Structure 1
């Protein structure tokens, strides 16, 4: 009887796995996971990239539908304002007297054309909240996080590959309006505050600066039409992808300034910020701690409703995924390339509605060539690059201009 039990026990043990066999199986599974995980991650990023491209396409359709309805593109730098004061604190008033200071981006006007009719209804009508805040139609300036629409995340305005979320941002965006291959004066455009009142395309200096240097599809605070794009809708960029900041000093998202010298140092050398040597040699996409940057609220794409350069503008001066270089604080103009979390390039929306993926290595001329600008301050006048020139920034710059008569021959 005992012998029979022993034989049964030996037979039972022979059907199991030894410790060595288990370790071998686990090792094989680990190797397979190690081989498959990158493929799975790549497939997920491919899906996110496709979704991001679809968002860009949706914005293009929205722009064309908007143009069909109003015979113009949505204005970048718009909104009801106070004609007797431009005070920022009064613009944030919560008793019903707030105003936008003409700071709303092109994305606000696109809301009902990208399936955001409910949000548009909130924005375009007065609002009285339970806590007693009273907001006029189109609300306060887009810095104000107490106004619910400005803090709303709009899925169409977000690229799934961008992980940015939450404060200190309000509603983030990953898609910016293209203002061309220069930047003077993209913060004021054709409408300026003269100290006592707004001048709507009535200031001769502002108009000359805009005609000279704002050469893209969008001109700040000006009504633009497809007829203005004489280079051809299929050859002109309307908008581009941008990363939103993560608070990590990424040179593509932070409000980095050129230090002393102001406008001329950047306008005459778009690589000024890089030349200062503040890029970390061990991490070339990041700035060192010595770089002159602004606070946490001053990063790329933090406010979709805000028209300022850092928030919702891009230009075709430096190639995609290059560094940002601003003239001054976070509300000033400067070099602001598109950027993305995708490998190798960015999504671009052409004015005809087509979506392109542009490589970081696109031909972009000499990055130290002066931008086109006119009638600058400090006793100096025009740029060393003559007014009306073809873009000095190669194929990339040519794609950003609407009426410079460049011939686009290369594939992009």
Structure 2
């Protein structure tokens, strides 16, 4: 073989190069899902830790106040500076600040004003709290303020047709009476302590996850889109509050789940109440923003009940996440569990009530 032949054969042929590229592509295709799964496992672990921190703050609060934090801390106060109904009362998250190593934010919160008034808006509401943000959230920013959003919400209770405000984070009776939030369903509105959770704190959810909402204003999202979990549809069904009706509750869930994929939110004002928009507090008693109801199961859609204003405890305000197959939840005892999307509806209802008397097996979710 001559020297010129050796020089001609010193490089790769086109076929050899294509084979190498194909092998690399196959390896990447095999490794990428594993890498993504590992990254999501890390995000889910961080989310669990966030909820544990919230649970720890909850029990520090209970130790100091002998009660669970109210849904809103200053829904109604006397005097001309009253936040009233429209000025965004400070919610449960603001109440936990002194117990979550956020003393500076706690000191900055002015309970004589609403969350949308300058005394709180420029300081507390604009602060980013990392513990309130799930790393699996894909939005990247808040719908109103770039830093104020959160992914964790408080359990207001199970289906309202069975019993309203049956969770552990609920309005105080005085607030319910003075604002009308308890007019349609007055049962259970009061400050509650550990002794009120007769179902057991390990069997009752305190907090879970919600994806950040889309808005404000007229939002157009279809039932079949990837963003369906971020909005509210309806109204879909008439439900009577505090009627003891589990049949009504099931019919409401089925009506919500049966909406066609083409169903749109166009023109529905109820999407002006945006999930997780402001962690410190919000309009409508923080219900549509920073709490949820145990009606539809995890990662199902949210639906408004016919005959009621939007943002009410009777609606199906549903938890959801970007974790595969379910959501994390902090129980009232501070432990964190993972609830699958396939959890049975009666089980999901049972863990949403503090005193329903249900028996829940530890392997049922």
TM-score by length of 1: 0.70
Query: C-alpha distance in 1, partners of 2:106/2:256?
Result: 44
Residue 275, structure 1, aligned to residue 255, structure 2: yes
User: Which one of 326, 329, 336 corresponds to residue 348 of structure 1?
Assistant: 329
Q: Which segment is superposed worse, 73-82 or 271-280?
A: 271-280
SS in structure 2 at match of 1:308: helix
**Counterpart Cα distance in 2 of 1:343 and 1:58:** 22
Q: Which residue of 2 aligns with 1:395?
A: 347
Alignment of 1:105 onto 2:91: yes
1:11-410 equivalent positions in 2, closer than 5 A: 11-79=6-74, 81-83=76-78, 97=81, 99=83, 101=85, 103-124=89-110, 137=111, 139-142=113-116, 146-170=121-145, 171-183=148-160, 190-192=173-175, 198=178, 206=182, 209-211=185-187, 214=188, 222-246=190-214, 248-249=221-222, 250-258=227-235, 268-269=248-249, 271-272=251-252, 275=255, 279-281=259-261, 288-289=263-264, 293-294=268-269, 297-304=272-279, 305-306=281-282, 307-327=285-305, 328=308, 330-333=310-313, 334-364=315-345, 394-409=346-361
Contact 2:72 2:92 in 1 (8 A): yes
Larger of the two Rg values belongs to structure = 1
* 2:292 and 2:319 in contact (8 A); partners too: yes
Structure 2 counterpart SS, 1:341: coil
Uncovered stretches (5+) of structure 2, i.e. residues with no partner = 216-220
- Separation in 1 of the partners of 2:115 and 2:240? 26
Higher relative contact order (CA 8 A, sep 6+): 2
The secondary structure found in structure 2 opposite 1:400 is coil
CA distance in 2, matches of 1:208, 1:271: 20
Shift of 1:51: 0.8
Per-residue displacement from partner, 1:175-228 (whole Å, max 9, x unpaired)? 11112213476596623577xxx38xxx9x9499443xx5xxxx5xx4221111
Q: How much has 1:109 moved relative to structure 2?
A: 0.9
* Alpha-carbon distance in 1 for matches of 2:114, 2:344: 42
Q: How many residues align?
A: 334
**Secondary structure of the residue that 1:257 maps to in structure 2?**
strand
What CA deviation, in whole Å up to 9, does each residue of 1:338-378 have, x standing for no partner?
211111111111111110001111121xxxxxxxxxxxxxx
Alpha-carbon contact 1:259-1:292 (below 8 Å) kept: no
Q: Structure 1 residues 10, 116: CA separation in 2 closer, same or farther (over 3 Å shift)?
A: farther
CA RMSD of aligned residues (A): 3.4
